[in-house]
């Protein structure tokens, strides 16, 4: 079974050179943003003139990012399924099967969706940055401009990690196209080539630096914009910068960025007895507990049966199940083990219960983009890989002991400590879409143990398998001769 939009995507080719035209007239996620109107309804140069216009445009950018074709489902699901965290149960709705058995090709729906929606979000960010640069400077303008820089960097980081060779393998390999100017300036039918992986990372870091230095320390009062975890912030930019540096193995700079968030961001971890309740809460947080940045899903703006919660929760499709090997990593006293449950129709299966609001009429589970625990584990790993065992132990144990009060803490050193931290990342960030990127950046074989209830699966996914990198959509390479397909497709 395919989602309706996915069918539509497969029938109507979408690619950079064409779909950018459709982005020109979109500026907010109010009712008028959700209505389908001709892109010429309002000239682009007139659509963002005030701070309110700019805030509406930022809301529209977030609306693009939370769609199920991007961070709302496809990105986090593939981030765990292409790795070793989840499999698709034998009786299923027909989603994500080709990724499990490694049969996806250049017309793969999920790859096309991520590519298309990722660039759509980037194009909206471009318009916001361009407009903000032409407006009088104020704290509100700086905040909104910084959020657009952050969003653009996040989308590029996601795209380059799915569609290109890992930085550590070959920084000079073909990355993804860098499009940073609005299409009403360049013209809508651009045909960009692929920048190198190193160039893409350089732009990601530059954007996050710009966001960090531009945004005020305290989020100002802005119409249709709240100072909570559902909007970007100075510290969200810094936290994502730490992630980007970790992915490119620039551990010294990862330490600088992550330590800044830890020392100055004001974030805390949930108490052990509050951790499950934290995940059950569908609303934004403003007290800086756990969440640094998330994408809002409310009863008005959610992905319905196409959402991330629906693919995990047994009141939805319930297709995605945790591998026993992952479930068994958690001790009996680890509070994270309470985020699993049993289900009578799936005996013996480690059912994921991290997204519980699938049937909630008033609100849905927000999509966590980056949490404080990830920053702590990034800091720990960066210290471990630069030989500072003491600091590495300190920061990994801040997470590990908070989640498991009975755990005495890691005392390993050297490469074993680094491995322990990667394992702790797996346990802490499971079902948030980051596991595959860790396996990619470290050049590790994906080992998926046999599960008696699984749909057909390829158990060993070696680093040299060409499908470790997603295919550039056929629709893109057909229309744009400057974009070369990844090897093997």
**Of 57-61, 127-131, 160-164, 356-360, the least confident:** 356-360
Domain 16-219+226-474 maps to which CATH number in 1.25.40.390, 2.30.40.10, 3.40.250.10, 1.10.540.10? Answer: 1.25.40.390
Tell me how far apart the alpha carbons of residues 318 and 299 are, in angstroms, rounded to a whole number: 20
Q: Per-residue pLDDT tens for 206-229? A: 999 999 999 999 999 999 999 999
SS3 assignment, position 293: strand
The total of other beta-carbon atoms located within 10 Å of residue 36's CB is 6
Six-digit token string for 245: 């540096």
Six-digit token string for 149: 């820089």
Cβ(88)–Cβ(97) below 8 Å: yes
How large is the average pLDDT for residues 442-466? 96
Residue 189 has pLDDT above 90, yes or no: no
Q: Dihedral of CA 217/221/223/226: which sign?
A: positive
Residue 266 has pLDDT above 60, yes or no: yes
Q: Per-residue pLDDT tens for 162-185? A: 999 999 999 999 999 999 999 888
**Of 16-30, 51-65, 238-252, 407-421, the least confident:** 16-30
Residue 27 has pLDDT above 80, yes or no: no
Q: Per-residue pLDDT tens for 370-381? A: 999 999 999 999
Give the pTM: 0.92
How large is the average pLDDT for residues 94-111? 98
Contacts for 390-399: CB closer than 8 Å, 24+ residues apart: 392/417, 392/418, 392/421, 393/417, 395/262, 396/420, 396/421, 396/424, 398/269, 399/269, 399/373, 399/424, 399/428
């Amino acid at each position: 079974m395919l989602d309706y939009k996915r069918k539509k995507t497969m029938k109507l080719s979408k690619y950079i050179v064409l779909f950018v035209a459709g982005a020109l007239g979109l500026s907010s996620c109010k009712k008028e943003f959700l209505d389908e109107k001709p892109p010429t309804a309002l000239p682009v140069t007139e659509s963002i003139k005030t701070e309110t216009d700019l805030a509406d445009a930022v809301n529209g950018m977030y609306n693009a990012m939370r769609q199920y074709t991007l961070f709302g489902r496809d990105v986090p699901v593939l981030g765990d399924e292409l790795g070793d965290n989840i499999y698709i149960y034998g009786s299923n709705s027909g989603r994500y099967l080709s990724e499990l058995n490694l049969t996806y090709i250049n017309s793969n729906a999920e790859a096309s969706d991520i590519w298309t929606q990722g660039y759509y979000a980037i194009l909206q960010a471009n318009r916001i940055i361009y407009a903000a640069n032409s407006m009088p400077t104020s704290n509100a303008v700086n905040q909104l401009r910084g959020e657009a820089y952050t969003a653009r960097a996040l989308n590029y980081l996601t795209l380059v990690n799915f569609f290109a060779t890992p930085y550590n393998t070959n920084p000079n390999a073909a990355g993804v196209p860098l499009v940073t100017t609005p299409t009403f300036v360049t013209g809508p039918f651009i045909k960009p080539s692929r920048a190198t992986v190193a160039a893409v990372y350089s732009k990601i870091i530059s954007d996050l630096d710009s966001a960090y230095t531009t945004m005020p320390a305290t989020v100002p009062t802005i119409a249709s914009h709240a100072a909570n975890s559902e909007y970007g912030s100075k510290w969200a930019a810094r936290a994502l910068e730490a992630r980007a540096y970790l992915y490119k193995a620039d551990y010294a700079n990862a330490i600088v960025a992550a330590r800044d968030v830890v020392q100055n961001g004001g974030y805390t971890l949930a108490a052990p007895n509050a951790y499950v309740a934290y995940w059950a809460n569908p609303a934004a947080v403003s007290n800086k507990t756990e969440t640094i940045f998330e994408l809002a899903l409310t009863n008005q703006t959610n992905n319905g049966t196409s959402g991330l919660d629906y693919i995990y929760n047994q009141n939805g499709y319930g297709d995605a199940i945790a591998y026993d090997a992952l479930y068994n990593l958690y001790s009996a006293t680890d509070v994270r083990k309470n985020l699993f449950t049993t289900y009578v129709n799936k005996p013996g299966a480690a059912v994921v219960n991290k997204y519980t609001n699938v049937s909630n009429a008033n609100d849905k589970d927000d999509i966590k983009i980056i949490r404080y625990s990830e920053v702590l584990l990034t800091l720990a790993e960066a210290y471990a890989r630069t030989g500072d065992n003491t600091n590495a132990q300190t920061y990994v144990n801040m997470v590990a002991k908070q989640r498991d009060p009975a755990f005495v803490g890691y005392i390993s050193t050297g490469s074993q400590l680094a491995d322990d931290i990667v394992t702790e990342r797996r346990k802490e960030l499971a079902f948030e879409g980051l596991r595959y990127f860790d396996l990619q950046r470290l050049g590790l074989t994906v080992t998926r143990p046999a599960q008696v209830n699984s749909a057909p699966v390829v158990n060993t996914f070696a680093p040299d398998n060409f499908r470790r990198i997603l295919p550039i959509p056929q629709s893109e390479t057909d229309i744009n001769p400057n974009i070369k397909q990844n090897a093997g497709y």
